[in-house]
Structure 1
Amino acid sequence: MITKRLLLLFATALVLSTFSSCLDENTKGLLPEEKAYNSATNLYINTVATLYNYIGGNSDSQGLEGTVRGLYDYNTFSTDEAIIPIRGGDWYDGGFWQNLYEHRWTASDEALYNTWLYLYKVAMLCNHSLAVIDANRSLLTDKDYLAYTSEVKAVRCLFYYELMDMFGRIPYVTKDQESYADVKQQERSTVFHNIIDELQACLPYLANEHSNLEGNYYGRMTRPVAQFLLARLFLNAEVYADDDWTDKQHPDGKTMTFTVDGLTMNAWQACVHYCDEIEKEGYQLQPDYAFNFSVHNETSVENIFTIPMDKIKYQNQFWYLYRSRHYAHGGAIGMDAENGTSATLATVHAYGYGTDSLDTRFAINFYADTVKVDGKVVTQESGEPLVYQPLVMAENLTYSPYEKTAGARMAKYEIDRKAYADGKLQDNDIVLFRFADVLLMRAEAKVRNGENGQSDLDAVRRRVGMPCRPATLDNILRERLLELMWEGSRRRDLIRYGLFHKAYDLRQPIESESDAHTIVFPIPTKAIDLNNKLTQNKGYKTEK
């Protein structure tokens, strides 16, 4: 199986002397180059398959999801969705989580720099893979060459997309061993169009397969995965095509034009087109919403792109349940816990908690009220029942009587009772893209284009037994929170709606945030130190 299960993996160290010179790749035990590249199969294994080792992670700031102080945290705890409050002596961490929630991040933030390094590491490994494939093209048929290179380029697009989304103006490097000191920063709109052009060029040569299903394409960049990424790019086109996001002006998605399959479309039409293409591939809503996050979710008809998880075979980890549960809750299931992550008050109210119209997804997404494990009430050290308090929350809970119990906690992913490492090594695949998001993207794009998105919104709500709501932009944004809670997409949503830099939940805008400069993060100081051609994003200082 050509996936992460392959043991023959080749991680080049050449990237260390080029763009990502400060990265530390372990090169022990590598295959001799003459064996790594002696057949088409080995060439694929050691240039394409090896890249999938980096989609997930097992240490801070590594992986697209699953670990901490990386992409997921920057996209989640900076929003109205979730918070990690200070709980006495727990979770102060030098103010990291509070600063994240308040948008007080700085260019000297070490975790931000580590996230930058991770994303560029994979982009540069893609560049090296392409160079190796070119050097060994004689091993390949024309068809294989196009398939191999397109898959690598699509993976590279995914990582440049994340870089552009987070940092706006970035170096866009496509050559192997290009000197970091020589690379230039490109405007966000340029990177945006480059990613679209490359993904569209790759599409015909990507396997038209379901990436979430176990088999030869498990966890890989297939055509539907690339189509999802294109739909997301077009839905956020007004943001990504804006080179000065601080001037209170932005492009109009209705008047922006793109060539899609030989036709001219505006941004919203292009988004709808790729959503339609994904639906044609047979994806549909899983009848049971919770099944998408179950221990054995590999057969979901809804999940499009996942991080394969297997506590025996893979090293990928999932920290989020462990990080959220109260200590006693973790102990009751035979695991440890960190008693941190909670839903915000805004989220709890959006779900209708405490009212007669509680959304059915609340019980799936959260632990709330009296906690039971295997039908038994969980007790704290004091002997009192463990009761989570969804309607109690503050940035700093120190001295609150609910210091350790405030907040609804993350559930969503079924607990793998046979997991290792306190639940971090689980069998539930981590869901990155799924069809419910496709329906909500299509509904929103249609409404933004003056069309009717009602049927797609209705389908998402009917699946969970909730009554229909008018397909307005406000209702679609609310539905994205209800449906996609804990899935790492909230920051992009708030930015697209022009809300990220404004007051929400407990958060008040910081000084000068009215210019919306916080919709991108600062270019890390250490990155600028290595290349003085890079300039800082507006609104930020480059600390020494």
Structure 2
Amino acid sequence: MKYNFRKQIWLLLLASATLVSCNDFIDRLPENSVEASTVDYTNLTDMYKPVSGVYAVANLKLSFWGELGLMVVRGDDANKGSNPNDQIEFQYCKEFKYDKIQSYWALNSSWEGLYNIVSTANAALNSLDKYGENAKTDADKNKLAKYSAEIRFLRGYAFYRITQLWGAAPLLIDNQQLNLTKSSKEDVHKFIQSEMDFCVSNLPDERPNQNVNPGAVTKYSALMLKAKLALLDGDYNLVLSTTDQIINSNKFNLYSDFYQLFKIPGKLSNESLFELQFTDFGTASGQSVTSDAWFAFQGPRSGTGFIQGWGFMTPSQSIRDFLTARNDSVRAKTTFMYTNAYTPSGDWINPGQPGEPDCYNGKAYTPSSQMTPGRTDYGMNNNIRVFRYADVLLMNAEAKVRLGQNGDSPLNLVRQRAKLSSLTNATVDQILDERRAEFAMEWGDRFYDLLRTGKLPAGAEYYPIPQNQIDLNPNLK
């Protein structure tokens, strides 16, 4: 790892210079921003600053704990967790009682945060256009296209999250647009797919960990987002073609140790297509880049020392029984962190108070032995995994089977990593079961698999648009 170079990139993120214009979608200007009048657009050495600004905002907003809860809790793999009365709105989400959450502050904050990414990206693209007026050489023009693609990926991913949560929503692509009406989910998806085509053409043909800015998105991040959208839309030909491109690149492979994949050794592994990046710079105190309590939100209430948190989003009895019945011990060891027991890494988790969970999400756990000495925040210095190669393989397997082909090869690569025997002539249901086991507690993947396969009650699909946003813009009613 080129640590000093990466530290320079992180400092650039912290001191990013990006412009955001005010409208109803933005809660506030991002920290470390400057007004456009102070920017010298003839200085092309600063052309990456708007890009780093979007990354900084995206890392924070995409790691908002409230949004994670809204995405995860509706699946049959997760319970609300924590104290029974704490953030009771998550329980209403679990029970699809959406009429009780339209004024829930976390629902509104999730909306604001995602549109904050969108509006920051829009402003950054405007800044790049101004730099572009001074880009004369082919090298500078190629950089401009690459930087624009990075921003457009992050904006597209924010829109993807928006449609996951709300379905139809405003397609804000210019910060001067006010009082927008909702675009259909299908139209927003079409827009994202078009944007990802631009990204595929202009982003590096590399893994994110090969990038000159390690962890920045690449061509394969964009192909992955195309595949995820196509999977939700039931376009299995597109799922197959995009995942085939990723697989046939021969650039990715599964990290050998599933348990360590989610811990410090697994940061930016060859399995990663997109991660939210955080760092403490390897120092005992001082400057750091941290998530919006994403780790603490899921940490054990009954923990000790550095291994403790708020106790939300806990594995359900259903997912525990499911993995047990499959003899899926590798994934169980990783996904379940039980109380009144030591973790495989040697941290003791105390039993909780009556009514508190007895099991927490092990995928959000960073062992104390892997933390930088002197740092005490749960999950400090770890990244958040978003897109994994395992998902590429299982999407590819499912698309093949749905299109009348054999999906055993990609499926069995994932099963072998989990120390499970290979399957022959696998069915769609077997692949869906594999997805349930592999992605338990990750980004609500289980809920969205249930949604796209028609296994949810009517009206469970999307959250209501926050009442605060309807009050600001009655067109959203």
TM-score with structure 1 setting the length: 0.76
1:46-93 Cα shifts (integer Å, max 9, x gaps) = x21210002322xxxx32x3x4111x211211110111246xxx2413
**C-alpha distance in 2, partners of 1:376/1:74?**
31
* Identity rate, percent: 23
Among 338, 351, 362, the alignment partner of 2:332 is: 362
Among 315, 318, 321, the alignment partner of 1:349 is: 321
Cross-structure match for 2:17: 10
Contact 1:370–1:377 (CA<8 Å) still a contact in 2? no
Among 398, 416, 422, the alignment partner of 1:462 is: 416
> Is 1:521 paired with 2:453?
no
Among 343, 358, 361, the alignment partner of 1:410 is: 361
1:97-496 → structure 2 map (5 Å cutoff): 97-105=90-98, 106-140=101-135, 141-178=140-177, 180-181=178-179, 183-212=180-209, 216-238=212-234, 267-281=235-249, 282-298=251-267, 300-312=269-281, 314-317=288-291, 319=293, 322-328=296-302, 330-331=303-304, 333-352=305-324, 357-368=327-338, 370-372=340-342, 378=348, 386=351, 403-404=355-356, 406-412=357-363, 413-417=365-369, 418=371, 422-424=376-378, 426-469=380-423, 471-488=426-443, 489-496=445-452
**C-alpha distance in 2, partners of 1:146/1:334?**
43
RMSD after superposition: 2.8
Contact 1:294–1:414 (CA<8 Å) still a contact in 2? yes
> Is 1:50 paired with 2:53?
yes
AA aligned to 1:177 is: Q
AA aligned to 2:190 is: H
**C-alpha distance in 2, partners of 1:375/1:51?**
35
Find the structure with the greater CA-based Rg: 1
Change beyond 3 A, Cα 1:145–1:350: same
AA aligned to 1:5 is: L
SS at match of 1:185: coil
Change beyond 3 A, Cα 1:379–1:104: closer
Q: CA deviation at 1:116?
A: 0.7
SS at match of 1:136: helix
AA aligned to 1:205 is: N
AA aligned to 1:149 is: S
Change beyond 3 A, Cα 1:219–1:91: farther
Change beyond 3 A, Cα 1:299–1:167: closer
**C-alpha distance in 2, partners of 1:26/1:41?**
22
1:391-411 Cα shifts (integer Å, max 9, x gaps) = xxxxxxxxxx9523x443221
AA aligned to 2:475 is: K
**C-alpha distance in 1, partners of 2:220/2:349?**
46
Cross-structure match for 2:89: 96
Contact 2:15–2:32 (CA<8 Å) still a contact in 1? no
**C-alpha distance in 1, partners of 2:451/2:349?**
41
AA aligned to 2:172 is: V
Q: CA deviation at 1:128?
A: 1.1
Q: Which runs of 5+ in 2 are unaligned?
A: 282-286
Contact 1:321–1:410 (CA<8 Å) still a contact in 2? no
Q: CA deviation at 1:439?
A: 0.5
**C-alpha distance in 2, partners of 1:200/1:34?**
33
Q: Which runs of 5+ in 1 are unaligned?
A: 239-266, 381-385, 389-400, 502-515, 536-544
SS at match of 2:208: coil
**C-alpha distance in 2, partners of 1:311/1:532?**
43
Among 23, 28, 31, the alignment partner of 2:27 is: 23
Contact 2:299–2:307 (CA<8 Å) still a contact in 1? no
**C-alpha distance in 2, partners of 1:25/1:187?**
28
1:321-366 Cα shifts (integer Å, max 9, x gaps) = 54445444x21x44443344421111011101xx683432111221
**C-alpha distance in 2, partners of 1:500/1:33?**
51
Change beyond 3 A, Cα 1:190–1:482: same
Change beyond 3 A, Cα 1:407–1:493: farther
Contact 2:17–2:34 (CA<8 Å) still a contact in 1? yes
AA aligned to 2:316 is: T
**C-alpha distance in 2, partners of 1:520/1:200?**
27
**C-alpha distance in 2, partners of 1:269/1:303?**
24
Cross-structure match for 2:284: none
AA aligned to 2:47 is: L
Among 41, 44, 62, the alignment partner of 1:40 is: 44
AA aligned to 2:19 is: T
